[in-house]
């Protein structure tokens, strides 16, 4: 059993399902103490129970909720070693049908939340020897032509900008910040989209989509000491769809 995260205190946002749940399970299997932050209480509680972790119901776009999650992790486990900013939303919508309210909300959840968690977490980490932050972006940030909407792609580009700038500014405190850009990942949220568009999988050079566990494995690596000299990078996990 890999125990490279043994004893580490970690937060996973959006950990109630999909990629977030896979990340929470993977890091827990490697010995981490996990706090899951999500609005989906029933599912979040189930994952937390499964992995022996803690669930906190939170709107990740709200500063008070974010700071409460960080405080819970610190109080429960004596510190905070890492954060996976995974929470995100999208909607499949044409450019001309994007409403102002949707634009604002997707930016709140997909970008603002990552800044709030990075800031709150880094304030603790800089006083306690450092830590690691992993932001879940998307191949949509790098030009994938079938992205769900311009609003979504814009937020994921913002995630990369936040990752790179915060990595440079937080490096002096031994805080590492990296991003993962998933490709087509099989989850309950996109099952219908893939069923309606089977040709999208055929475009993947490796010929198969990703599973949440593939993203989780990279996240676990970036949180571990094995990645101690890696920061400011974006990791494509997409079967070769985007080459950069």
**Res 196: pLDDT:** 86
The DSSP letter of residue 4 is T
pTM: predicted TM-score of the whole model, two decimal places? 0.95
**Res 40: pLDDT:** 97
What pLDDT tens digit does each residue of the chain (244 aa) get? 678 999 999 999 999 999 999 999 999 999 999 999 999 999 999 999 999 999 999 999 999 999 999 999 999 999 999 999 999 988 888 899 999 999 999 999 999 999 999 999 999 999 999 999 999 999 999 988 888 899 999 999 999 999 999 999 999 999 999 999 999 998 877 778 788 888 888 899 999 999 999 999 999 999 999 999 999 999 999 999 888 7
Residue 171, classed as helix, strand or coil, is: helix
**Res 1: pLDDT:** 63
Domains of the chain as residue ranges with CATH: 9-229 (3.40.50.720)
Tokens of 211: 């599973």
Examine the residue annotation and report whether 152 is marked as an active-site residue of this protein.
yes
Rounded (10°) angle between helices 113-125 and 63-77: 40
Residue 229, classed as helix, strand or coil, is: coil
Cα Rg, the chain, nearest whole Å: 17
Q: Give me the DSSP letters along 71-102.
A: HHHHHHHSS--EEEE---------GGG--HHH
Angstrom CA distances, 145 to 57, 183, 234, stand at 34, 12, 19
Among residues 144, 152, 173, 200, which one is catalytic? 152
Half-sphere exposure of 91 (CA within 13 A, CB side): 15
Helix ranges (H only) for 78-202 are: 100-107, 113-125, 150-170, 191-196, 199-202
Tell me how far the alpha carbon of residue 160 is from its chain's centroid: 12
Angstrom CA distances, 155 to 110, 122, 159, 190, stand at 6, 22, 6, 18
């Amino acid at each position: 059993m890999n125990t490279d995260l043994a004893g580490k205190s970690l937060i996973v946002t959006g950990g109630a399902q999909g990629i977030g749940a896979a990340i929470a399970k993977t890091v827990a299997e490697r010995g981490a103490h996990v706090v899951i932050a999500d609005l989906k209480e029933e599912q979040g509680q189930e994952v937390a129970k499964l992995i022996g972790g803690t669930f906190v119901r939170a709107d990740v776009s709200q500063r008070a909720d974010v700071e409460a999650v960080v405080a819970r992790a610190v109080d429960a486990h004596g510190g905070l070693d890492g954060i996976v900013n995974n929470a995100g939303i999208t909607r499949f919508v044409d450019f001309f049908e994007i409403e102002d309210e949707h634009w604002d909300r997707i930016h709140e959840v997909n970008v603002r939340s990552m800044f709030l968690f990075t800031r709150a977490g880094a304030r603790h980490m800089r006083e306690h020897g450092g830590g690691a932050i992993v932001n879940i972006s998307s191949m949509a940030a790098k030009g994938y032509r079938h992205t769900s909407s311009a609003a979504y792609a814009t937020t994921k580009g913002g995630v990369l900008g936040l990752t790179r700038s915060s990595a440079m500014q937080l490096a002096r405190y031994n805080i590492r910040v990296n991003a993962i850009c998933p490709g087509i990942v099989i989850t309950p949220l996109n099952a219908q989209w893939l069923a309606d568009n089977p040709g999208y999988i055929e475009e993947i050079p490796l010929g198969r989509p990703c599973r949440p566990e593939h993203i989780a494995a990279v996240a676990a690596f970036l949180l571990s000491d094995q990645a101690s000299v890696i920061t400011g990078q974006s990791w494509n996990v997409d079967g070769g769809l985007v080459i950069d």
